């Protein structure tokens, strides 16, 4: 019997059906109902230079993000005339405050209004006001640009595993997020469905077997759990988060630079704070640096993964700054998780595997599964009838 | 208000729906109802040597064209026994006036009759007369071989933008078409749906922005129109077709050899005459040479394009003949159009783009869209229900 | 009129419809109803070393075969927890008599029972006895391991073209099959549907035109038939199986080593005995060696082919053993058949080819077609409605 405040599940629920991880129909449903309806990350604010059009891809859609001074706007990368692509390059200068289609020279203002049809002379039935650029919702959070393709975007809802949304939204308020810059970037494609990545992220039963370095650093991980609350023993006597006096996720255990000023004592003691923004990203904030992870589904069985290490500019500038001490630690964890995810993906293609069972420790996977199912809806593609 | 004889549209119709340009179901419907039912080009008559079997591909079907003296015949490249391919090479000699299957040696006469089943000894229920080669309709026009997979081929109907079919069919009668030979060939695959190619072909709104060399040569093109009739100003005072005394589509503007003998004064003044044979080719006839363009859909988003420059043999033989002066001019136009088509294709994959609007100047696109829809029929795949 | 005991067909039946050879729906139906329900070969018994887990692929399913002493067992290569792959390498040692999942360390006994869920602490609703490894049926026959994915496997039924199943099962009893070892292996992928391979295997009408070396060796093959019984002439006076005193399928015609001891005089005179185990293999037993052929469908139009030449160890050890004299003969036949199969596959993609007609000599193809149709069932994908 688990204690009243234990997060452990009181039964072993089934997982999602196997085909949720490879069936193209599931993938299309998820793209339309999750990726095209939720807020997904598009990059750090400083990757969108002023007076520039930048092309980004979101849920299979090509989007242009314009920056004119402080103002960022996003539109679908398509002309209303006959559907030509407006911006072919990664970035283009914003010439004369107009977005001009390279095909027939239709021109749009930065607020999206159609300004000119060039040599085309529309008749009265054509209303310019109905033929402006197609807008994409945009919001900033802690220096990250998020986009949402939905006409009516949902609330922006980061997740720290507790029910209070306001607390989650404010979780990084004591970190100097807007001042951080990218000091290192790692990109890789892993051969698994995007949900496999999140399942692996949401449990630590695999930590002792898969992550030897990380489990040596974080004693509760070595017990196969994510937090002291999961076990009566560790709940009663939590002990320090890190072994051997380490303070952060670096190979040496030492911070890579000065500890952030504004953190509370509790935040310092925490060592790492994970903030999840389903379906596309999570941030892990340490006392000395922050890591942002972004994932993008490429196909039912391929997911693009991007890791960005964020630092204060003055930390990066220090003569004794040791980048590899920082990035080697999490890079090892990322590589171990990627291999585990691919092993999981290969296995569940077995025609005999219908679905699995979650262990009580996999409560965050259960929560993630509910999050997915609430969005994909009742008409999710069913288990294939046995043929 | 446009004049009574203006070709301009009196409203701005919608384009075809976006998925017409990438949906595999549309592609299959068009292959079955357009490409497999209309006359499509198979090459110049002189590319089919006497006493030879040549393999060509039409609408995804492998076809053999046999030439025995003056007679050309076309058949599906398949044996009636168990479906083996009859001809694996590009060309094969026609041995002993028989087409013999290389698998089990069934032999067919050049008129398609099954002559022998070799070691197979069919019972009485097998009727040789029901098991001949499967014929493909063939016709010659101006030295071009056209094939049609339909059992009942439609009328052969070239198009010069006017309603009189007889005039269109005769449009090249004053050109020495049967004597022309290929002097240069250019082949390329462009990343767009085949209809995008025709839409680009059917309007000149893009000319000022896309074709600088061509617009400098042809003054009406620089105004974004295809002919003087599209504008009251140019209709009233058409002026010469070409700027600076040029006579044809060469870099220098000078003919590449003697002007064709039989042309009328009006035909000479015209400078270029476009004859379209939907869905697979057009010919542009100049006073000194002819260019034939052939397109072949490879997939919903890939189209193979072939350009052939045709000359009188004596023109090619002249010591001062300058091939590059001829081919560089149109090659530039082709490359510019290909880039524009690919830009259009990329853009209309945007999930937010449902369909566009035609400008009044795009009357020939509207006509082409009707031509497509009449053939694809009422049960064209609908817009995808929003999921 | 054929004689009473002639195997020839009394009419010319239609072949399978063309799309049976390339339609993905047919391929999936055959995978589910034939390849996943019948006994398919997994290799020679000696390719499964003791105390080893070996991964094999059957009908698209990854299977592990465990050997612990004399006992072989087979399971699906998937963990019951969340579907991870149990064995990633071709082979792995069987450590401590347990199969342990590399992801979360669930451990299974070699009899399939779930022994441990490691750090996972299942609640009472989780029953270990319901979460063992998923078994795959396994049987040995003449030194070959066969697997069957069906829960209720069918009878194991080799085929020698006669109705008596017991005789077929015993067809190789006089050969020292269990002692034979692989002396040479050839693997290739042929660009055809798997059924095309079997159709080519099941008739000799193609032999005179395709197999010159083989037809020179086997006089009845030169007549386009598989056995003397197919023709009144050869039925009356069969003559020796091989020309010029040859005794086996070697280039020289001479046995590659001592003739097997236990063969009857009739078996010696036969020269080759073909035993077919649909859908995945056949064995041809000669007086001096045996060749085993395995085929695996990769896609509707790709089939993997493996040939293994089996010898007594003492034959292989002889100083005068000439491997090329043995393998060159059948390798030539295999290459000729592969080219013919690919030619057949290319041809039947013709949109005009609906189906073909079998000749009376193709009685074994007709039998194979019935075998397929009995399994694929009444709801086989129909001929595509003409669009």
- C258 to each of C172, C255, C274, how far by Cα in Å? 17, 7, 20
Which positions in chain A touch C78 (Cβ < 8 Å)?
347-348, 350, 352-353
CA–CA min distance C22, chain A (Å): 19
Nearest CB partner across the interface for C33, out of A9, A351, A387: A387
Q: Which of A148, A183, A217 is the last residue of a domain?
A: A148
All residues of chain B having their beta carbon less than 8 Å from the beta carbon of residue A108 are none
C64 near A CB under 8 A: no
Mean pLDDT of A255-273: 96
Q: How many alpha carbons lie under 13 Å from residue A126 in its C-beta half-sphere?
A: 23
What angle, rounded to 10 degrees, do the helices at A323-348 and A194-201 form? 120
> For residue C165, what pLDDT is reported?
86
Interchain CB contact of A275 with C (< 8 Å): no
Q: C139 with C207, same domain?
A: no
Of C62, C122, C149, the CB nearest to A12: C122
Size of interface A-C (CB pairs under 8 A): 112
| Whole-angstrom distance, CA of residue C246 vs CA of residue C248 | 6
Quick one: which of C3, C59, C1, C74 has its CA closest to C28?
C59
CATH number, domain at C255? Answer: 3.90.380.10
Residue with tokens 């990633």: C88
Tell which of C82, C125, C132 to mutate to test the A interface (max A CBs under 10 Å): C82
Statement to judge: residues C77 and C30 lie in one domain: no
For the stretch A347-372, pLDDT in tens is 999 999 999 999 999 999 999 999 99
CA distance C85 to A191: 13
User: Which pLDDT value is given to residue A4?
Assistant: 52
Q: What gap in Å lies between CA C134 and CA A353, rounded to an integer?
A: 8
- 10 Å CB burial of residue A206 (0-12, 13-18, 19+) is buried
Contacting residues of B for A33, CB less than 8 Å apart:
387
Residue B131 and residue B211 in one domain: no
Position C254 scores a pLDDT of 97
Same domain, C305 and C341: yes
Residue B45: predicted pLDDT: 95
Query: Does B206 contact A104 at a Cβ distance shorter than 8 Å?
Result: yes
Residues of B in contact with A102 (CB under 8 A): 209, 343
pLDDT in tens, B8-32: 999 999 999 999 999 999 999 999 9
- Distance (Å, rounded) from C-alpha B279 to C-alpha C316? 65
- Distance of alpha carbon A99 from alpha carbon A95, whole angstroms: 7
Q: What is the pLDDT of residue B185?
A: 98
Residues C168 and C245 in one domain: yes
B384 shares contact with chain A (CB less than 8 Å): no
Among residues C164, C125, C169, C173, the alpha carbon closest in space to that of C146 is found at C169
Nearest CB partner across the interface for B104, out of C206, C223, C346: C206
Count contacts between A and B (CB, < 8 Å). 113
Whether A381 is covered by a domain: the verdict is: no
SS3 content of chain A, % helix, strand, coil (to 5): 30, 25, 45
Q: What is the mean pLDDT of residues A188-203?
A: 98
- ipTM of the modeled complex: 0.93
Q: Which of A148, A174, A193 is the last residue of a domain?
A: A148
pLDDT of residue C381: 58
**Chain CA centroid to CA B351, Å:** 31
From C200, which residue of chain B is nearest by alpha-carbon distance?
Answer: B103
Residues of B with Cβ-Cβ distance to C352 under 8 angstroms: 61, 76, 78, 134, 149
Which residues make beta-bridge pairs with B98? Answer: B109
Closest of B305, B296, B285 to residue B38, by C-alpha: B296
Answer whether C61 sits within 8 Å of A350, measured CB to CB: yes
Among the partner residues C205, C208, C344, nearest to B83 by beta-carbon distance: C344
DSSP structure string for A297-327 = EEETTEEEEEEEEEE-HHHHH-TT--HHHHH
Mean pLDDT of chain C: 94
| Chain A residues inside the 8 Å CB shell of B223 | 119
Give me chain B's average pLDDT, please: 94
Please report the number of interchain residue pairs, chain B to chain C, with beta-carbon separation below 8 angstroms: 113
Last residue of a domain, one of B95, B127, B148: B148
Tokens of B62: 């492998």
Domain check: are B171 and B245 in the same one?
yes
Cα atoms in the 13 Å half-sphere on the side-chain side of A83: 29
User: Is residue C225 situated within a structural domain?
Assistant: yes
For residue A201, the model assigns a pLDDT of 98
Give the other-Cβ count within 10 Å of B199's Cβ. Answer: 22
**Cβ pair B126:C357 closer than 8 A:** yes
> Which residues in chain B touch residue A32, judged by CB atoms under 8 angstroms apart?
386-387
Output Rg (C-alpha) for chain C, integer angstroms: 23
Contact with chain A for residue C34, Cβ under 8 A: no
pLDDT at A1 over 90: no
A120 in contact with B, Cβ within 8 Å: yes
Based on the fold, state whether residues B259 and B371 are members of the same structural domain.
yes
* C231-258: average pLDDT: 95
Query: Hey, are the CB atoms on A353 and C125 less than 8 Å from each other?
Result: no
Any domain includes C198 = yes
Contact by Cβ (8 Å): A341, A190: yes
Answer yes or no: do C120 and A349 touch at CB < 8 A: no
Contact B343 A83 (CB under 8 A): no
Taking CB atoms and an 8 Å cutoff, what residues of chain C touch A387?
Answer: 28-29, 32-33
Going by C-alpha positions, the residue among B362, B348, B352 that lies closest to residue B26 is: B348
Nearest by CB to residue A105, choosing from B209, B223, B343, is B209
Residues C21-39 pLDDT 10s: 999 999 999 999 999 999 9
Residue A382 has pLDDT above 70, yes or no: no
Residues in CB range of A385: below 8 A, 6 or more apart:
none
Which whole number is the average pLDDT over A252-259? 97
Q: Summarize pLDDT for C140-188 with one digit per residue, the tens.
A: 999 999 999 999 999 999 999 888 888 999 999 999 999 999 999 999 9
pLDDT of residue B163: 80
For residue B312, give the nearest of B184, B178, B181 by alpha carbon.
B181
C111 and C183 housed in the same domain = no
B353 at the A interface (CB within 8 A)? Answer: yes
> 3-state class of A276 per DSSP?
strand
In this complex, is the C-beta atom of C33 within 8 Å of any C-beta atom belonging to chain A?
yes
Helix (H) or strand (E) holding B52: strand B52-58
Judge contact between A58 and A43, C-beta under 8 A. Answer: no
Smallest CA–CA distance, residue B344 to chain C, in Å, is: 29
* pLDDT band at residue A162 under the 50/70/90 scheme: confident
Residue A383: pLDDT over 70: no
Distance CA C162, CA C170 (A): 12
User: What's the total number of domains in chain C?
Assistant: 2
Task: Flag whether B73 is in a domain.
Answer: yes
pLDDT score for C385: 32
Say if residue A164 is exposed, middle or buried (CB neighbours under 10 Å; 0-12, 13-18, 19+).
exposed
Q: CATH number of the domain that A104 lies in? A: 2.102.10.10
Asked if A304 reaches chain B (Cβ–Cβ under 8 Å), the answer is: no
Please report the beta strands in chain C, taking only residues with DSSP state E, as ranges in sequence order.
40-44, 52-58, 61-68, 71-76, 91-93, 98-100, 107-109, 114-116, 135-141, 144-148, 181-190, 273-277, 281-285, 290-299, 302-311
- By C-alpha distance, which of B293, B294, B291 is closest to B326? B291
Buried/exposed code over A15-51 (b: 16+ C-beta within 10 A; e: otherwise): bbbbbbbbbeebbebbbbbbbbbbbbbbbbeeebeee
Q: Is residue C97 situated within a structural domain? A: yes
- Supply the pLDDT for residue C97: 86
pTM: 0.92
Q: A63, A119, A150: which to substitute to probe chain B, counting the most B Cβ within 10 Å?
A: A119
For the stretch C91-135, pLDDT in tens is 999 988 899 999 999 999 999 999 999 999 999 999 999 999 999
Mean pLDDT of C250-277: 97
Name the E strands within chain A: 40-44, 52-58, 61-68, 71-76, 91-93, 98-100, 107-109, 114-116, 135-141, 144-148, 181-190, 273-277, 281-285, 290-299, 302-311
d(CA C157, CA C38): 10
Q: Which tokens go with C245?
A: 């005193």
Q: Helix, strand, coil shares of chain C as percentages rounded to 5?
A: 30, 25, 45
Which residues of chain C are within 8 Å of residue A15 when distances are taken between CB atoms? 82-83
Instruction: Judge: A81–B359 Cβ closer than 8 Å, yes or no.
Output: yes
- Return d(Cα A147, Cα B33) in angstroms, integer: 42
Q: What is the pLDDT of residue B44?
A: 96
Q: Give the closest residue to C299 by CA, choosing from C17, C26, C18.
A: C26
A104 and B205 in contact by Cβ < 8 A? Answer: yes
Please indicate, yes or no, whether residues A297 and A171 belong to a single structural domain of this protein.
yes
A130 and A45 within one domain:
yes
The answer to whether residue A11 sits within a structural domain is: no
Instruction: Locate B380 and state its tokens.
Output: 């064209």
Check if C117 contacts A (Cβ < 8 Å). yes
Token look-up 């053999």 returns B64
Residue C387, pLDDT score: 30
- What CA–CA distance (Å, rounded) separates A130 from A133? 9
- Containing domain of residue B109, as a range? 41-148
Q: Which of C344, C350, C362 sits opposite B103 (nearest CB)?
A: C344
CA dist B111 and C68 (Å) reads 68
Pair (C197, C81) in one structural domain: no
pLDDT on residue C378: 64
**Positions of chain B with pLDDT lower than 50, given as ranges:** 1-3, 383-387
Residue C379 pLDDT > 60, yes or no?
yes
Nearest Cα to A26, choosing from A369, A375, A380, A383? A380
Q: Are B174 and B272 found together in one domain?
A: yes
Phi/psi for A278 (5° steps) reads: -60, 145
Is residue A287 within 8 Å of A262, Cβ to Cβ? no
User: For residue A209, is it within any domain?
Assistant: yes
With contact defined as 3+ CB pairs under 8 Å, the chains touching C are A, B
**B105 touching chain C per CB within 8 A:** yes
Give domain status of residue B96, yes or no.
yes
* Residue C230 and residue C7 in contact, taking contact as beta carbons nearer than 8 Å: yes
Percent of chain A beyond pLDDT 70? 96
Residues of C in contact with B117 (CB under 8 A): 359
> Do residue B134 and residue C349 have CB atoms under 8 angstroms apart?
no
Question: If residue B296 lies in a helix (H) or strand (E), which one and from where to where?
Answer: strand B290-299
């Amino acid at each position: 019997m688990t204690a009243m405040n234990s997060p452990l599940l009181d039964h072993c629920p089934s997982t999602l059906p196997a085909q949720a991880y490879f069936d193209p129909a599931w993938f299309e449903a998820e793209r339309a109902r999750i990726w095209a309806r939720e807020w997904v990350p598009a990059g750090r604010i400083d990757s969108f230079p002023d007076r520039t059009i930048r092309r980004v891809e979101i849920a299979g859609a090509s989007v242009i993000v314009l920056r004119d001074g402080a103002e960022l706007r996003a539109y679908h990368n398509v002309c209303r005339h006959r559907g030509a692509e407006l911006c072919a390059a990664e970035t283009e200068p914003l010439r004369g405050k107009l977005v001009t289609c390279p095909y027939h020279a239709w021109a749009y203002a930065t607020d999206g209004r159609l300004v000119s049809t060039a040599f085309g002379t529309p008749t009265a039935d054509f209303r310019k006001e109905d033929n402006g650029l197609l807008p994409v919702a945009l919001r900033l959070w802690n220096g990250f640009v998020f986009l949402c393709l939905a006409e009516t975007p949902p609330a922006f809802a980061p997740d720290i595993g507790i029910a209070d949304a306001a607390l989650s939204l404010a979780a990084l308020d004591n970190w100097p997020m807007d001042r951080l810059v990218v000091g290192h970037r790692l990109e890789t494609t892993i051969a698994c469905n995007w949900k496999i990545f999140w399942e692996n992220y949401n449990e630590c039963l695999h930590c002792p077997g898969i992550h030897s370095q990380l489990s040596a650093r974080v004693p509760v991980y070595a017990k196969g759990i994510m937090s002291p609350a999961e076990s009566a023993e560790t709940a009663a006597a939590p002990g320090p988060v890190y072994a051997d006096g380490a303070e952060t996720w670096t190979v040496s255990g030492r911070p890579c630079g000065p500890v952030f000023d504004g953190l509370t004592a509790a935040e310092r003691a925490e060592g790492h704070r994970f903030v999840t923004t389903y379906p596309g990203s999570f941030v892990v904030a340490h006392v000395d640096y922050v890591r942002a992870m972004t994932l993008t589904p490429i196909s039912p069985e391929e997911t693009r993964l991007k890791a960005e290490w964020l630092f204060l500019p003055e930390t990066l500038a220090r003569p004794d700054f040791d980048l590899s001490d920082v990035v080697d630690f999490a890079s090892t964890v990322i590589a171990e998780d990627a291999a585990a995810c691919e092993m999981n993906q290969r296995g569940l293609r077995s025609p005999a595997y219908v679905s699995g069972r979650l262990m009580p420790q996999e409560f965050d996977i259960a929560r993630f599964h509910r999050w997915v199912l609430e969005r994909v809806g009742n008409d999710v593609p069913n288990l294939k009838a046995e043929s």
